[in-house]
Structure 1
Amino acid sequence: MSDAAQLTRTEVREAAEAVKAAIDRHLEAVSSTTTDDDPAVFAAYEELAAAAIHYDQLLYEVYDEVTPFEVPGDGGPGSYQGPEEPEAVSVLIRRDYRIVDPRRLRAQAERLDDSLAPVTGEEQGVTAAVGVVFGEFEPDEIAARAEEFGLEEGDSTLWVTATDPTEPGEWLAEPFDTPDPHLLLCRFDVSEVYDEDDLDD
């Protein structure tokens, strides 16, 4: 067996193990939730769906076989149920940061806003600094310069959902109502969890 063939079969095995791990995480999320529409359950569902699709694709490419399961996203439970031709989309972004260097964050804020007095003693002035920095820079720039601002990137996700056209200001009073997963057109996640799973495999 060539090295390339062995590598490909190894990838199938790794994909199968990833499905098993995703099943365990999904079961844990489902069995421990106490609320409806728990985002942890949905996230685990999406992770399981992605792992199953990846495994199914590799299995077909290498062995010309398929799984007996309905692949989520192809009309199964939890799949997209919005309009085929949406008139508008909403882009929902969440990025988490740990404040690992409060004084660096405050120093950046003081450079931007002369009215901020330098902090002394144990005071760190994080709350005001966050408002200044995030008010001055676009989210993408903060993500690119996180370390410069004393921040450490955590998990992030971007959802694109189908929505109805709205008038200016119509949804601003409640901008972050729980999004309907059945209107999700696509999502993109960045997390160290995936890297850790790869290492475990």
Structure 2
Amino acid sequence: MPIPNAGTPPSYYVHPASLVETTDIGAGTLIWAFVHVLDGVSIGTNSTICDHCFVENGVVIGSNVTLKCGIYLWKGVTLEDNVFLGPNVVFTNDLHPRSKNTNFVLASTLIQQGASIGANSTVLAGVTVGRYALSGIGSVITRNVRDYALVYGNPARQHGWVDENGHKLSAAEEGIWISPETGSRYQETAAGLVPLSAV
């Protein structure tokens, strides 16, 4: 798809039916209809924000990120590069919410590189979802998720491991996992999996 405005500043596209108050947007990013992005938001290159999303000030969105429709990102949320959020993923940022409370403390939530959150999942404030982790649809993520972990359910629990493409891994030997799709091997650690070439 050709990118409107390509080659002339700005080099990103904002649909005329959206309201975007930040200019900190990388080249090739597409922002579609009925999106509201507040000032103070940072968005990387080649990201896509689909219809009916809201992004609050202070949010950081990396490069090659995809936000499907109906997602609200609140202050304190950071999405690293290559993150995918399915439709209607829900975030929170206040562990003790009260109406009209002026003495609030917001928690920071981090979705790390390459992670994917399934449609209609809810992410508790303060949680970190690890690199290349994958949550199934409708998951309620109430605790940190390890790198490459496959989680689903309410509350979300780990049900295996996935590779960078989201394919479920098989056990090869004690502490070693293998991708049936690519043959890549991974070593299990306390933080999650590590590709053997990186160990």
Shorter-chain TM-score tier = under 0.3
Bigger Rg over Cα: 1
Q: Which of the pair has the greater relative contact order for Cα pairs under 8 Å at 6+ separation?
A: 1
User: What TM-score does the superposition give when structure 1 sets the normalisation length?
Assistant: 0.21
